[in-house]
């Protein structure tokens, strides 16, 4: 067993886990935060993207014991607990950027990280390139790209522009 101690969505958590426990398993099974999803076994699909110390990380590709003292934010922690949704979340709803919803948490977390690194004015080629690590089987990506562009702008201004 390995001891773990980290912060998840602002709360300090500790535990004793099988050393093979991946971060995504720890979040889903030990903390019951099931918003982070598993869609593959090759770290290609991106459904498991979370933020670790402010950076997008695939939670299926890191052991939880590696994250001693780290700050993890999941989809559940993106918005304030009783506050409004994060502008990127609103953008996905506004621009119909999801169908079954399974890839969506990973898409949103990747999108927020994209804005943090590339700024609020994201063009299509940039968004599509940055989304190479996230797969969607429902939408064909078209509206996801639109949602991210709108969400990026909104993150700069504090509101989401409606669709025309």
Residues that bind another protein (CB under 8 A): 18, 20, 28, 32-42, 45, 47, 74-76, 79, 85, 89-90, 92-94, 96, 98-105, 108, 135-138, 163
Give 8-75 as a DSSP string: ETTEEEEEEE-TT-BHHHIIIIIS--TTS----SSS-S-TTEEEETTEEEEGGGSBGGGGTT-EEE-G
Question: To the nearest whole angstrom, how small is the minimum distance from the Cβ of residue 132 to another protein?
Answer: 15
- Shortest CB 100 distance to another protein, Å: 3
Q: Classify 6 as helix, strand or coil.
A: strand
Taking the complex as a whole, how short is the minimal distance between the CB of residue 74 and another protein, in angstroms?
Answer: 7
Q: Judge whether 83 and 21 are in contact, CB under 8 Å.
A: no
As measured in angstroms, the least distance from the Cβ of 60 to another protein is 10
Of residues 95 and 123, the one with the C-beta less far from another protein? 95
Using alpha carbons only, give the angle 121, 122, 125 rounded to the nearest 5 degrees.
150
Total count of residues recorded for the chain:
164
Residue nearer to another protein on the CB measure, 69 or 83: 83
Nearest CB to another protein, comparing residues 90 and 113:
90
């Amino acid at each position: 067993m390995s001891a773990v101690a980290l912060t998840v969505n602002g709360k300090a958590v500790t535990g004793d886990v099988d050393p093979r426990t991946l971060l995504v398993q720890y979040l889903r099974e030990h903390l019951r935060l099931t918003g982070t999803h598993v869609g593959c076994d090759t770290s290609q699909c991106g459904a498991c993207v979370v933020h670790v110390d402010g950076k997008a990380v695939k939670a299926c590709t890191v052991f939880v014991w590696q994250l001693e003292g780290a700050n993890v934010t999941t989809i559940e922690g993106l918005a304030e607990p009783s506050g409004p949704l994060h502008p990127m979340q609103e953008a996905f709803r506004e621009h119909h950027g999801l169908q079954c919803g399974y890839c969506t948490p990973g898409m949103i977390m990747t999108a927020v990280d994209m804005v943090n690194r590339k700024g609020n004015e994201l063009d299509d080629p940039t968004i599509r390139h940055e989304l190479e690590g996230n797969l969607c089987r429902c939408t064909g990506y078209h509206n996801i790209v639109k949602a991210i562009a709108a969400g990026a702008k909104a993150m700069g201004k504090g509101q989401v522009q409606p669709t025309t």
